[in-house]
Amino acid sequence: MAERFIQANGVELCAEEFGDPADPAVLLVMGLGASMLWWDEEFCRRVASGGRHVIRYDHRDTGRSAAWPPGRPGYTGADLVDDAAGVLDAFGVPAAHVAGVSAGGGLAQLLALGRPGRVLSLTLVSTSAAVPPGRRLPPPAEAFGRFLSTAEVDWSDADSVVEYQVGFARMLAGAERPFDEDAARALVRRDVARARDFAAARNHDALPDDDREWGALSAIAVPTVVLHGTADPMFPIGHGEALADVIPDAALVPLEGAGHGLERADWETVVAALLGVSGRRGPRPSSTARW
């Protein structure tokens, strides 16, 4: 189906749907600084083929959604949570199964806490606790800090941004699996070319604090599955373990050798987990999961 522009939470966002709108809805929430293209179209179709109505969308300041001047975001992280609810409103969906990757998983957790009636289940990939989990979490790997402190980028130059993003993706992939640079470069080039303003994506790194109180993750009362790479350099697997411990009855599915993000090699596992947790007869994750 074609992309469409919607009004969500008072702003124009770009979104796309797959599958039959009569099927249970799955809302896909990508991480900060990343458009909906990072939910690969083939992945979306695989989920839809399991009897789901799949919706993906561009956050503010990514893709074809509304953009603010670089360095001056006129919104907060809480607005991004409200945007997710606004996307559901625009598609006429009262409640959905919500899947999030990286910071998108954090937004999904906050949506479940702030608007519990809108979330039917959670699938959390490569993410961390959106509110303090009451324990110490392991720091990022040395490679993560080294990249952030040494990488250079000219946000006014598309080629420079592409090289930076590919380098970032290479680092996030971790050191245990081969990195498909050609595929990463093709995706990043599409993302940069499609954006209203590719420099605006850095606004997600400068979001002002807000004072909304979300409550404790132990209040989440929907079926939850946590999928986490054992070689994640941004959020070591201890982050996923903490999430699975603090969210009641959550299942943990370790992704052996995976880095940070949603890798093609893990699609089958992630799709199975999403279909399983969203309540149909899709296969459950592997026997390593705690159900």
**Beta-carbon neighbour count of residue 55 at 10 Å?**
27
What percent of the chain is predicted at pLDDT more than 70? Answer: 96
- The CA-based angle 249-96-65, given to 5 degrees, is 125
Look up the pTM and report it.
0.95
Closest-CA residue to 29 (of 116, 117, 113, 126) = 126
Above pLDDT 90, what percent of the chain?
A: 93
DSSP state of 237: T
> What tens digit of pLDDT does each residue of 122-157 get?
999 999 999 999 999 999 999 999 999 999 999 999
Any idea where the domains of the chain sit in the sequence? Answer: 4-138+196-277
Catalytic residue among 35, 65, 102, 126: 102
Residue found by looking up tokens 């400068």 in the block:
206
197 as an active site residue: the answer is no
- Known catalytic residue: 260? yes
Range 33-42 average pLDDT: 98
Q: Is the pLDDT of residue 14 over 90?
A: yes
**How many angstroms from the chain centroid is the CA of residue 289?**
21
Structure tokens at 69: 């001047």
Going by the DSSP 8-state scheme, the letter that residue 156 receives in this structure is T
Question: Tell me, what's the pLDDT at 79?
Answer: 97
**Predicted local confidence at residue 288, as pLDDT:** 39
For tokens 């899709």, what's the residue? Answer: 282
102 is catalytic: yes
Contact 151, 140 (CB under 8 A): no
Each residue of 81-129: pLDDT tens digit?
Answer: 999 999 999 999 999 999 999 999 999 999 999 999 999 999 999 999 9
Catalytic residue from among 128, 204, 260, 266: 260
Q: Can you give the pLDDT at residue 29?
A: 98
Q: What is the mean pLDDT of the chain?
A: 94
Each residue's pLDDT tens digit, 236-278: 999 999 999 999 999 999 999 999 999 999 999 999 999 999 9
Q: What is the 3-state secondary structure (H, E, C) of 271-291?
A: HHHHHHHCCCCCCCCCCCCCC
Instruction: Name the CATH superfamily housing domain 4-138+196-277.
Output: Alpha/Beta hydrolase fold, catalytic domain (3.40.50.1820)
Specify burial of residue 8 (Cβ count, 10 A radius: 0-12, 13-18, 19+): buried
**What's the CA gap between 184 and 162, in Å, rounded?**
10
The pLDDT assigned to 282 comes to: 36
The residue annotated as part of the active site, out of 232, 239, 266, 278, is 232
- Residue 51 gets which letter from DSSP? T
Alpha carbon distance 71, 106 (integer Å): 22
- CA 151 to chain CA centroid, Å, is 23
Radius of gyration of the chain from its Cα atoms, rounded to whole angstroms: 18
